[in-house]
Structure 1
Amino acid sequence: MADRDPAIVKADSTPVASPVAEELAAPPAKAPGKLRRVAVMGLVPLLIIGGAVTYWYTLQGKVSTDNAYVQQDKVSVSAEVGGKIASVGVREDQNVKVGDVLFTVDPSTYQIQLAQADAAIATAQASATALANSSDLSGADASAAREDIGFAQANLARQQALWNRGFTTKAAYEAAQHQVAQAREQLRLAEARQVEARAKLATGSQVPGVLPAIAAAQAQRRAAELALTRTVVRAPMAGRVSQADRLQIGQEIVSGLPVVTIVKNTVSYVEANFKETDLADMRVGQPATIELDAYPGVKLKGHVSSIGAGTGSEFSVLPAQNATGNWVKVTQRVPVRIAIDEASPRPLLAGLSSHVTVDTDGKR
């Protein structure tokens, strides 16, 4: 080893730098990821604030509510006469026109009533004929009474002459006087019966030319005939039949009790219940946007058709009584009718929930 080359020894004695030492000695570089994180942390609050401001400005001039429901005109149909259902002419969800037969009520009872009314008319007519031909009206009784008076007066005159000459008794004379008085009373009664008979045949101003008894019987017949026609129940308007499952043949129905409903599905509107605080800038005619919960993505154009004349609580069956010590103020809701201005791509059903936004600045 002592015999080594001096040049080699010199070269080997040069110190060699370590890579780790070089890395520690180099100046530290700035991390780009840290700058990126700082930029994001500063930008996110700005975006949130900008979004909130934009959202706030988009809400200006608009009021909305999700307390809104699709409404359609509907009529609850009931029978105007009672009885058992004899036949059913419709089924559930069937479209009907005005005048279509919905169901019929057993007409037997009302046919009997019509026959009884015809019999009452005939009885009144027969009574009128008999009264017109009665002796009371003809005056025969009055004529007979006048003849009796003449005979009684002649007899009284004879008895008076005999009484004056003393050839008759007092009893015979008084009997002749009584006969005259009785004949005069019979004439008075005959004339009274004649007046009464004429009065029974008189007609009033309400039904001129028709005897009251006959007019009453005819009115009874018209009532029976009307009840008979009402055994056939027809559709009062065009629409779609609902709740037809109540119509069962043989079921007893009560007059005036609704048994089936017809929905007029050609005309729909939305009844939106807005808070009273939303009505300050709302006016009739302002445009509105309608969104239906049943059909996501469907938006319909409409406008404010009318604003209710009172809050919903005012027209409830039991209005709130606030004159108490434990009164709590509650924001009231006012019904606002929204007319639909365009045809819906999906069928509108009565009662569907919707979301209504009214542009109170008049812009869509």
Structure 2
Amino acid sequence: MNAVSKLKDEVTEVEADTLSPPVTAAPLAQPAPARKRRKGRLFLMSALPLALVVGGGYVWVTGGRYQETENANLRQAKVSIASQEAGRVVSVNVADNQMVKVGDTLFVVDPEPYRIALAQADAALAAARLNVEQLRAAYSQALAQERVTAGDVTYLQSQYDRASALVKRGINSESTLDEARRDLTKAQDQHTAAVQGIASARAALAGNPAIETDEHPTVLAALATRDNAAYALAQTTVRAPADGMVAQASSFKVGQFVGVGTPLFSLVETDDIWVDANFKETQLTNMKPGQTAEITLDTYPNHPLKATIEAIGAGTGAEFSLLPAQNATGNWVKVTQRIPVRLKVDTSGLDVALRTGMSATVSVDTGVSRGLPGLLSSAVAADNVK
């Protein structure tokens, strides 16, 4: 029994020696690296917030120079095309979305009635010129009549003087003197009428007997009427006022009757391009006309455009709305307003097609950053609040 027990004890010791790992002194030196890792974690935990604070402060101090908004649209001038003369359209030379050049014929209104009116005006002008020549002849006739009546007055005056002398001598009777007096008076009246005839003829010639025919008032009026008729005839051909693209002309056809001034379709001027950007009122602190900007269209994100501020709007959009907001109530809530800013686009070297109404993102370089004084003033303000 003792031998068996002894054998079991030996087997147990061998198994214990086999299963148990050998004990070394190395694990006793591991607490030191654990302390180093804790120091590294502490450094990282403190360095990350510090870096965020420093980076955020730098961004804030150096920021504010570029003011950006996505509330912007590309604009092109739109001209409403209308006829200055009423009539039926006999020719249409454009189609919807067609490009045209300045001076190109867009459409033609029936010119025949206006040609007739021009012919009538030409006839009236010729009649006015003829009338002036007749007035000039009447003036010459009045001058001749005045000379004749002046001669009659001279002759009858001498006859009257001779009859008067003979009556004083008792040679002629008083009746002979009365007859001579009557003839003289009649001649004097005729001379007076002839003088008035000259004045009337001179007045008919605008007070200047030597006036040129085309300078006479009646001829000038006839010329104006004729020019007006010629202008009306010319306006029956409607031409493009500028380079651009025709829009909303799909229903404009030959045979349509057009009235004076009625809008028929539109012409979008492709050479007159600008951007209307609506900035928040808080973004306009350092914004001025003449500052440069960069415009990125949503259609062409890889083609930034250069622009310059032309003008800053006269008021907010709410001021010019149909029903302006009334803030004189007890439930008033302050809302940041937006003010339109107009920017002139530099289209030199542009190789993309621009269309009015395109959405854009505008970034304006104001040239003014917040800077360290702004940061300090903010800190002082915060201390005062506390």
Give 1:185's aligned amino acid.
Answer: D
Partner of 2:359: 353
Match of 2:229 among 218, 224, 227: 224
CA distance in 2, matches of 1:195, 1:160: 37
Partner of 1:242: 247
SS at match of 1:349: coil
- Is the CA contact 1:156–1:180 (under 8 Å) kept in the aligned structure 2? no
CA distance in 2, matches of 1:299, 1:169: 118
Give 1:134's aligned amino acid.
Answer: A
Match of 1:190 among 189, 194, 197: 194
What does residue range 72-111 of structure 1 map to in structure 2 within 5 Å?
72-111=76-115
CA offsets per residue over residues 236-269 of structure 1, 9 Å max, x none? 2212112223533233333344433222325533
Give 1:93's aligned amino acid.
Answer: N
Q: Measured at CA, do residues 275 and 144 of structure 1 come closer, stay the same or move farther in structure 2, by a change above 3 Å?
A: same
Number of residue-to-residue matches in the alignment = 333
CA distance in 1, matches of 2:174, 2:291: 115
What's the CA shift for 1:102?
A: 0.6
What's the CA shift for 1:126?
A: 1.9
- Is the CA contact 2:163–2:177 (under 8 Å) kept in the aligned structure 1? no
Gaps of 5+ in 2: 13-41, 370-386
- Is the CA contact 1:290–1:302 (under 8 Å) kept in the aligned structure 2? yes
- Is the CA contact 2:68–2:363 (under 8 Å) kept in the aligned structure 1? yes
SS at match of 1:304: strand
What does residue range 32-111 of structure 1 map to in structure 2 within 5 Å?
60-111=64-115
Give 1:61's aligned amino acid.
Answer: R
Partner of 1:145: 149
What's the CA shift for 1:209?
A: 6.2
Q: TM-score, normalised by structure 2?
A: 0.68
Gaps of 5+ in 1: 16-38
Match of 1:112 among 105, 110, 116: 116
CA distance in 2, matches of 1:136, 1:344: 74
Partner of 2:278: 273
CA distance in 2, matches of 1:333, 1:135: 73
SS at match of 2:125: helix
What's the CA shift for 1:216?
A: 2.5
Q: Measured at CA, do residues 343 and 134 of structure 1 come closer, stay the same or move farther in structure 2, by a change above 3 Å?
A: closer
Equivalent pairs: percent with the same residue? 31
Q: Measured at CA, do residues 161 and 287 of structure 1 come closer, stay the same or move farther in structure 2, by a change above 3 Å?
A: closer
Match of 1:334 among 335, 340, 356: 340
Match of 2:132 among 120, 128, 131: 128
Give 2:339's aligned amino acid.
Answer: R
Q: Measured at CA, do residues 342 and 54 of structure 1 come closer, stay the same or move farther in structure 2, by a change above 3 Å?
A: farther
What's the CA shift for 1:203?
A: 7.4
SS at match of 2:108: strand
Q: TM-score, normalised by structure 1?
A: 0.71
What's the CA shift for 1:89?
A: 0.9
Partner of 1:154: 159
What's the CA shift for 1:57?
A: 7.2
What's the CA shift for 1:110?
A: 1.8
Partner of 1:23: none
What's the CA shift for 1:337?
A: 0.9
| Higher share of residues assigned helix | 2
What's the CA shift for 1:54?
A: 8.7
Segment drifting more, 157-166 vs 353-362? 157-166
